[in-house]
A = this chain, B = another copy of it.
Amino acid sequence: MISIQREDFSLEQEYQKLRTEAGDVGAIVTFTGIVRELYGGTGDKRGAAKTDTLYLEHYPGMTETSLANIVGAAQKKWPLLAVRVIHRVGELKPQEQIVFVGTASGHRQDAFDAAQYIMDFLKSRAPFWKKQSSGKDSHWVDARVSDAEALARWQDS
């Protein structure tokens, strides 16, 4: 259900696994995050810089535990029939896939909400860190204020 891996993943394969596991499913939402070449821009103080490489570091053990907790919390909040989370680590190039979240449910709203919830918490609560290299410069990517704000909306519900 949760994979941390260097290898790329196939949306089609993950989608078919979700369909099979979910049984009498009505709605499947997938989110795929892709490494942008122009990182930053709006909302990022650094402004846009062309990415040559994105390096993903994580905390083995804690990563899996924290993602399992996030998925477990989503399963409590919404009636989900299947959930899949994949996060890649190591060195990635622009336009490579970096993260996948798939949710299957009877109704679309539950699948949409759960996928967003999992992504919001994954961004700010799972121990991953991005280092961006642009030419000779490389720096650790700053946490985004908008990601902290995205978490806040789940406090009320």
How many chain A residues sit at the interface, stated as a range, is 20 to 34
A27 CA / B36 CA spacing, docked (Å): 9
Q: Is the CB of B31 within 8 A of A31?
A: no
- Residues in B neighbouring A37, C-beta threshold 8 A: 24
Whether, in the assembled complex, A115 has its beta carbon less than 8 Å from a beta carbon of chain B, the answer is: yes
Closest to A106 in B: B36
Task: Please state if A34 and B41 are interface contacts (CB–CB under 8 Å).
Answer: no
Chain B residue nearest to A50 (CB atoms) is B24
Kindly state the separation between the CA atoms of A26 and B34 in the bound complex, as whole angstroms.
5
Report A's interface with B, CB cutoff 8 A.
10-12, 15, 19, 24-38, 41, 94-95, 106-109, 111-112, 115-116, 119, 146, 150
Q: Assuming A26-B35, A41-B106, what are 7 further A-B pairs, CB within 8 angstroms?
A: A11-B15, A28-B30, A28-B31, A29-B115, A31-B108, A31-B111, A108-B119
Can you name 8 A-B residue pairings with CB atoms under 8 Å?
A15-B32, A24-B95, A29-B29, A29-B30, A30-B32, A36-B106, A108-B119, A112-B115
